Amino acid sequence: MSALTLAAIGIVYGDIGTSPLYTMQEVFDHKHGLSLTPENILGIVSLILWGLIFIVSLKYVTLVLRANNRGEGGIMALAALTLESVGKNSKMYFPLVILGVIGASLFYGDGVVTPAMTVLSAIEGIKVATPALKPFVVPITLVILIALYAVQSRGTATIGKFFGPVMVLWFAVLAAMGIYNILRVPAILEAFNPIHALEFLYYHRWAAFIALGAVVLAFTGSEALYADMGHFGAKPIRTAWFLIVFPALGLNYLGQGALLMIEPTAVSNPFFNQLGDWSIYPLVVLSTMAAVIASQATISGAFSMTKQAISLGFLPRMKIIHTSSKEIGQIYIPVVNWLQLAAVVGAVIGFGSASNLASAYGIANTGTMLVTSILTFFVIRYGWKYNLALCIASTSFFLLIDISLFSSNAMKFFSGGWFPIALGFGICVVMLTWRRGRSLVFDNLKKHAIPLEEFLESLFISPPVRVAGTAVFLRGEADGVPHALLHNLSHNKILHERVVFITLHNREIPWVPFSERIKVTDLKNNCFQVDVYYGFKNEPDIPNALALCAPFGLEFEPLETSYFISRQTIISSPGGGMAMWREGLFVTMSRNARDAADYYQIPSNRVIEVGAQVEI
């Protein structure tokens, strides 16, 4: 348990753990018009403390971590669990699909802003110590980020073991700095009284509503608690939060509030001014390490999210490289890595400072938080079968908070919030286009499919010549007779002595156990249908799947087995069901999708591909 808790501190809490770098500075930025009065400081710190209690401790750690999909978390896992709970025949099914895609798309948008924001905030500490170094902040940030993305292909196994100890040191320093300043101004402890937060909201109203857009920066990273549950389990995440992370964050926000009470000039950067000039450079080094860890968590999260989206049919096949021989969850997806780096570099150069990026930060995160609350309602209502009144009571409070935070951040749309929203919108279009295109292809194939069993029955009335070996034909759920089989019979006039048709089924659960992975149906005349079931966290591997057929009387010799794959060339057709530009997008994605044989781990020297055109 202690090892998992330490690992959870290093991976899960990097994002929310680096929020003290910029939150208080942004709240009291001149654009919010808040004066540095003791009442305002107490009100803001109280809002942050009670926000951590309600949003993180109660919503995520207590409630949402329970809404796991067979132990897995994250917006895609939650969406799959929600769809399973309501059922495909429900009127809410398609709207919930759209909602899940929106949540996932916003997660990608947030994943671009997080590395840029955290690393920029850490490096900006050098201009606090030496203002002359200000022009070097952006170049240094870019060097660090480019280096971070460049080493992703090597995996996180080597550096991952240092994440936990570094973050424990980080949280210890946060707590120590907080205690130091609290002792200077013990009156700051009054912020634990929620009356200060309520009075701040009541007396400032519109200004307080706008300030919420900066206060929410203290809660960014909450989704990581849920997204990484499958790696560590709920108990280590809860233990790390209540014993280490929450106390350290609370103490540091109290400490920064105390500092601003006695040194208002520290508002230019409350975090790096907590201990004086002597501490700035050591804090820059430590905060940069913490920022890199926070960035790594979002990068790894993007890889994991993409793999889940591919398995659930929302994205085309991509090249996935496993970077660890022991941990299946440690993967690297080159396309995602370099596209994300390009977007991050654009954000750093385009916005130029953490203060400017703060306007872009938060809107995507609060959007994902809002989607999570909505999906959670459907899980506890239709999946857990709880009483309607109880479901409404347990989620409406959090929905009210999420709507307030998202609305406040929406006010920053034209000052930078458009950036992650634009990214999320683009990804949403891609995901929905791919899903719709595959549905159209599926319907087209189903309409023209030749029933397999009827075809085999007529084929063996006057059987073709049988040759030695095993032929494995991949076929979709609606393919009927594979085009590759028809091509082989038409041109070669032969059939292998054993013929196996294999169909892959993707289920909306994370893992399918080996005992439920395979179903074998005897089609007679030494022909067999093999159905393979995968969850969205399982790794497709057809040779390994066939090895599981041995208990069913099917054994495969690698050198005697050939795999026949229909290489589909997708072409668009006018009036095919989507706008022409979306059909063109789908065709482009289809052409660039990863080779099926490679994706399913089939040895290339045993593959025979047969081309076929499919209209949408």
Coil, strand or helix at 74: coil
Chain centroid to CA 546: 31
Low-confidence ranges of the chain (pLDDT < 50): none
Q: Which helix (H) or strand (E) segment is 505 a member of? A: strand 494-506
Nearest by Cα to 42 from 177, 156, 203, 154: 203
**Residue 11 and residue 233 in contact, taking contact as beta carbons nearer than 8 Å:** no
Three-point CA angle 47, 294, 217, nearest 5°: 20
420-461 pLDDT per residue, tens:
999 999 999 999 999 998 888 888 777 778 889 999 999 999
Q: How far is CA 257 from CA 90, 117, 415, in A?
A: 50, 22, 27
pLDDT of residue 260: 95
Nearest by Cα to 309 from 94, 565, 102, 152: 102
Name the β-bridge partners of 506: 534
pLDDT of residue 138: 93
Coil, strand or helix at 493: coil
pLDDT of residue 156: 59
Integer Cα distance of 356 and 360 in angstroms: 8
| b/e per residue 78-102 (b: at least 16 CB within 10 A) | bbbbbbbbbeeeeeeeeebbebbbb
pLDDT of residue 241: 94
Integer Cα distance of 511 and 519 in angstroms: 16
Coil, strand or helix at 466: strand
> Tokens 């959007």, residue?
367
Integer Cα distance of 137 and 124 in angstroms: 6
Q: Which helix (H) or strand (E) segment is 160 a member of? A: helix 157-184
192: tokens are 């634990």
**Residue 276 and residue 63 in contact, taking contact as beta carbons nearer than 8 Å:** no
Q: Which helix (H) or strand (E) segment is 519 a member of? A: strand 518-524
